[in-house]
Amino acid sequence: MRDVAIVGAAITKFGELWQQSLRALAVEASLAALKDAGVDHVDALYVGAMSGGLLVGQEHLGALLADALGQSHIAATRVEGACASGGLALRQGFLAVASGAAEVVLVTGVEKMTDVDGVVATDVLATAADQEWEAMHGVTFPGLYAMMARAHMQRFGTSARALASVAAKNHAHGIKNPQAQFALRLTADDVLSSAMVADPLHALECAPISDGAAALVLVPATKAMQLSKRLVVHIAASAQAGDTMMLAGRASLSELAGVARAGALAYQQAGKGPTDIAVCEVHDCFTIAEIMATEALGFFEPGQAAAAVEAGVTSLGGRLPINTSGGLKARGHPVGATGVAQAVEIVTQLRGEAGARQVAGARVGMTQNMGGTGATAVVHILEVR
């Protein structure tokens, strides 16, 4: 397997982008990433998208993007894994370059979610749950993650304020990100005073529906040295694991076993451990998801992540900044784009180009992207050498 590097990274503004189509967003991010990489053609592209057909009536997104970029002759593939679609697309691009199947690969994540109302969007997102045993009984994702939150609270004594502190922290980071959907400063009290969606989760503990796209250009590391005068960001590990689709099939609702497996595989591939990670983007679709993900990745012992958040450990300036982009909660969550957007943030950090949210001296970063309640888990470790 060849060493793979990221030489181009770009992201659109995230938000309610009613004036831009799914195609336009994907093209905007892709062209910007190609320009950043200094290339004008690719051998293959992978598009991460969850529900273009249900949300905007458009499938066959690989061919759509290749055609829009004037490269309709290349191998173009759409990748779907619920909210992990972007992370899976990055993994497929990595494998294509690492195996020698392609020299230059474009990975784009995109979703256009706000052209439908909230009820429709909720129904579409519910397709990532077990239809027969969960969705058909009326359980939505807020309800599923609320069960996980309650289990964590009962097992470890995690407080509602600690969960709210995750949202407050990520919004504080999002204010420093010009591409974020919400430049909104929140306190834990603001979060706790917002409407209850599914006890114990409040409205301000749930990621929004969003429009947006992000893109990366991958090449062999030897080629990266020729293309870029910047610090070369290597993909040190790309790992995937899974878990049961339905929560009822799991031994514990207070752990993300699939994330833990993917993280362990990534650490093994990279020859690193949790203490080597300087900055990390995790999948905070709900506040409890960040708590459970950081425990699954070994940053904190089970039950200890909540206290770390309240102590400022995961804030900018803390020992391990988590979700410096604002995370899904503040940056936004166009589901197919999220996994790619996470990698764009880590590339930006490792290049030293994150501006007001820069983590000083960051040389190793991680992304954790998951679909559903963690039935699909993807972890990447990026580094500059």
Taking only the tens place, the pLDDT of each residue in 179-195 is 999 999 999 999 999 99
User: Is residue 232 included in any domain, yes or no?
Assistant: no
Tokens representing residue 229 in the block: 């005068």
Residue 346 CB-half CA count within 13 A: 32
Taking CB atoms within 8 Å and a gap of at least 24, the contacts of 124-130 are 124/51, 124/54, 124/55, 125/51, 125/335, 127/51, 127/54, 127/82, 128/50, 128/82, 128/83, 128/371, 128/372, 129/245, 129/246, 129/372, 129/373, 130/245, 130/246
- pLDDT tops 90 at residue 169: yes
Range list of β-strands (E), the chain: 4-11, 44-48, 75-79, 105-112, 196-198, 201-202, 211-220, 233-242, 279-281, 364-371, 376-384
* The domain boundary residue, chosen from 227, 261, 277: 227
In a shared domain, residues 179 and 281: yes
User: Is residue 127 included in any domain, yes or no?
Assistant: no
Query: At 211, which amino acid appears?
Result: D
In a shared domain, residues 106 and 199: no
Domain that includes residue 11, residue range: 4-117+209-227
- pLDDT tops 90 at residue 231: no
How far apart CA 187 and CA 164 sit, in angstroms, is 8
User: Is residue 129 included in any domain, yes or no?
Assistant: no
- pLDDT tops 80 at residue 385: yes
- pLDDT tops 80 at residue 110: yes
Number of domains in the chain: 2
Q: Give the catalytic positions in this structure.
A: 83, 333
**pLDDT at position 73:** 97
- pLDDT tops 90 at residue 111: yes
The mean pLDDT value for 133-160 works out to 96
Answering whether pTM is above 0.95, one says yes
301 touches 46 (CB < 8 A): no
- pLDDT tops 90 at residue 377: yes
Tokens representing residue 219 in the block: 């090449």
In a shared domain, residues 300 and 278: yes
**pLDDT at position 379:** 99
In a shared domain, residues 58 and 141: no
Phi, psi of 80 (to 5 degrees): -130, 130
User: Is residue 320 included in any domain, yes or no?
Assistant: yes
**pLDDT at position 229:** 75
The mean pLDDT value for 210-216 works out to 98
- pLDDT tops 90 at residue 281: yes
**pLDDT at position 226:** 87
In a shared domain, residues 63 and 188: no
Length of the chain: 385
Q: Which of 159-173, 216-230, 337-351 has the lowest mean pLDDT?
A: 216-230
**pLDDT at position 175:** 98
User: Is residue 328 included in any domain, yes or no?
Assistant: yes
User: Is residue 297 included in any domain, yes or no?
Assistant: yes
The mean pLDDT value for 143-163 works out to 98
339 touches 314 (CB < 8 A): no
- pLDDT tops 80 at residue 216: yes
- pLDDT tops 80 at residue 263: yes
* The domain boundary residue, chosen from 227, 258, 280: 227
Strand pairing class (233-242; 196-198)? unpaired
In a shared domain, residues 186 and 201: yes
Place of tokens 């909660």: 329
320 touches 277 (CB < 8 A): yes
How far apart CA 263 and CA 367 sit, in angstroms, is 10
- CATH, residue 257: 3.40.47.10
In a shared domain, residues 322 and 180: yes
Nearest Cα residue to 171 out of 282, 323, 304, 339: 323
**pLDDT at position 118:** 87
Condensed to tens digits (0 to 9), the pLDDT of residues 60-101 reads 999 999 999 999 999 999 999 999 999 999 999 999 999 999
Condensed to tens digits (0 to 9), the pLDDT of residues 20-29 reads 999 999 999 9
In a shared domain, residues 256 and 359: yes
In a shared domain, residues 310 and 331: yes
User: Is residue 128 included in any domain, yes or no?
Assistant: no
**pLDDT at position 13:** 98
Would you call 380 exposed, middle or buried from its count of C-beta atoms within 10 A (0-12, 13-18, 19+)?
buried
In a shared domain, residues 31 and 57: yes
Bridge partner list, 75: 44
Nearest Cα residue to 65 out of 84, 80, 50, 46: 46
180 touches 356 (CB < 8 A): no
Query: At 200, which amino acid appears?
Result: P
The mean pLDDT value for 343-371 works out to 98
User: Is residue 126 included in any domain, yes or no?
Assistant: no
Average pLDDT in the chain? 97
The mean pLDDT value for 117-123 works out to 91
In a shared domain, residues 19 and 95: yes
User: Would you tell me how many other CB atoms lie within 10 Å of the CB of residue 246?
Assistant: 19
**pLDDT at position 204:** 98
In a shared domain, residues 110 and 141: no
**pLDDT at position 228:** 73
**pLDDT at position 227:** 84
How far apart CA 334 and CA 328 sit, in angstroms, is 9
Place of tokens 């834990």: 188
* The domain boundary residue, chosen from 170, 196, 227: 227
